[in-house]
Structure 1
Amino acid sequence: MRNISRFNVIMLLLVVFGGFLIFGFSENIKGPAIPAMQRDFGLNEAQLGLLLSLNSLGYLLACSFTSSLSNRIGIRLTGILSFASMAASGVLMYLSATYASLSAGYFLLNIGNGMLEIGLAIMAARIFTRNTGTMMNLAHFFYGLSSTVAPIAASSMMGWNLGGGQLGWRGMYLIMLSLSLLPIIPSLLARFPEGERVRGDSLSIKDLLRDPVAWLIVAVLSFGVVSELGAGSWLVYFLEKAYGWENADASRMLSVFFLCFMLSRLLLGPVTDKIGYTLSVLIFSGFSGLCGLAALAIGEKGAVLFAISAIGIAPVYPTVMAMLAKRYARGVDTAITFTVTLMGIASVAGNLLVGYMIERVRELFASRNAADSELIGLQAGYGLIAVLALLCSAACAVLYLCLRKRREVL
């Protein structure tokens, strides 16, 4: 960090690290809440898929305006706006009486999440001018830490007895998202470094549209992220519905998933540098997909493999970002915008596809008894999540061969 006072350094760190901590909580408390939402509103899997797809849609919309917004009003106000919108979404979800109002609150939450993710990236790039890799890994550790704790905390809070009744998912969302207001305090006290003007970027969107490698990277990232988001969103629901687990037990398994996810990102970074980014994603995503399919084949006794699959899927996103930075050094901002925007479009469809897969397969096997068709539908939906990880590995294999022909392996 540049020559700024110790107090200002502390305030900036509180904003960034606290922001990542809040970000992890806000994204990952939904697992235990989804079954309760379904019961309260009588939702089917397709409606759940639509609700979850708002996560990706909100992120996609945030990609379109957060950068320009920060240029107009400054990164401080952009961050404050994202924190405030997340807190406001908790109030809307608490007061929601219909599926439409619930969706509106959830959509606002994910707009705030998307703004926060992009805003934190801008903040970190301006603040961490030294030891950037170490500091970014530390920042993402806080995201992984809160992601690990979030499902257990959310499940426990939903069972709290207050005022003669349980807190439930509404009260849990209200309390957890109210924590988003805390980082606003150091945001008001800190002095943020000014962004530097970007000089001519020689890489254009047209260049990327004509580059087959760019499209292969989009495919790799899209398959990997949709599989990652699908596992985090549907694991608790699957364990409850398919195996009859209690919400608390299923939430603990989701926390193990995020623990593996967090440790993988911290520990496997040196491995990706050593064996190469492309080969790393090929191996890790393939491992994740095979773990998911093995868990389904073994049944309830193999449920821990769902959590272990996080080891493979976790490095995909940061490693693909490293790919982009190395290959498109002359225009990495353009390359990331192009890739992440297209990934966001794919992510919107991902959760919808899982939900519709569960419903359609269940209807297809409805001639059997209800229990069998329910289980087969759930297995098909979660099987799709595992297959997407394998498709990520397959796309990466094609990318590797393409780059090797050009002698440009990353």
Structure 2
Amino acid sequence: MLSMSNRFQMPSTDAVDLTGRTILQVVPRLETGGAEITTMEMAAAIVRAGGRALVASEGGALESRIEAEGGEIVHMPVASKTPLTLWRNVGRLARLMQDENVDLIHGRSRAPCWSALFAAKRTDRPYVTTFHSTVHDTPQAKVLYNSSLVRGQISIANSHYTASRIEAVYPWVKSRLRVVPRGCDERALAPENFSNAERAAKRAAWGVDEDAFVVICPARVTNLKGQHILLEAMGLLKTQRQPHLICVGSAQGRDDYVAALKRRASEIGIGNRFGLTGLETDMPSAYAAADLAIVPTIRPEPFGRTIIEAQAAGLPVIGSDAGGYRETIIAKAPEDGGTGWLSEMGNAPALAAQIDAALSMPKAGLSKLGENGRANVLTQYTRNAMCNRTLNVYQELLK
């Protein structure tokens, strides 16, 4: 659901033929972040559309998956932020583009986007950028540095919220903005993929009873994602039911925050109903074992991929009333097409009231929210829709 007027252009989801075209994506590393996963998904889409997909990167865990989809990796020190390397990367990228007859270059991170910009100018090739992260309006030095992400002939924003923030900070790019929301693999997340036995097995691995109510928080374990707010809310619940809270995500070395969460869970008496599972390699099965998904971020999410994943898995959701969540969560009653709740950011009592509402709702109502959520994703947020929208951006510049 869009809470703001749809002022920015969204490309078509129609299929595109890229036969004979070579597309170069530039991303610092190929680990498991949003930009990297989208790079992998787009490499596969380019190949399926008949094109050739090159990826300039320092490499990483996703290399083999990109190559398995038909993409080609070109190792290059594009993660570097040193001025000399950035300038040398201009020449490296330009030579690559000329040698491999690249038709279009797509930059996905701040430092390499500067190199890609000047390589595109040197070779007279179309240039696309994607703004994956938070749009900062201070300090001015950072605003200038981040402007590499909006210097494409077309610049892609991952939500209308992100586009509105880009317009506010860089008003001169408005006509070049296109909104391409993130997508997810709706087929892998389909709830019918999992049997009751498989759900029970996942819960057993978490130490949770088969008939317990499970709240999942699918997010990196960090203060910004608000797990501490969710814990406080769990301690304020008024219903008699005693849900389990399972936080699924890597803490990435934030040991102090993890220790503080565990300590607080014990203090408020839910230590035996609180779990931190770490990095999860099978998110579809994790969603399938849950009853409600909550991500209470303490600052606006540019988009928020896990909320659409949870909806694709048929779960009702609660997210902070800010940023991209206002577009992806339909905060209405089940019978009116609702998919969940929007909660005031940083307000644990308000979040507790919404969790209580979910716990008190008849099973049929929760199921309807989940059904509506999956329909919401199938309409707007599939991986195929995201890829086709991006391919249509390429087509716009290649005509």
Bin of the TM-score, shorter chain as denominator length: under 0.3
| Higher relative strand content | 2
Q: Of Structure 1 and Structure 2, which has the larger fraction of its residues in helix?
A: 1
Return the TM-score normalized by structure 1: 0.25
Structure with more contact order per residue of length (Cα contacts < 8 Å, sep ≥ 6): 1
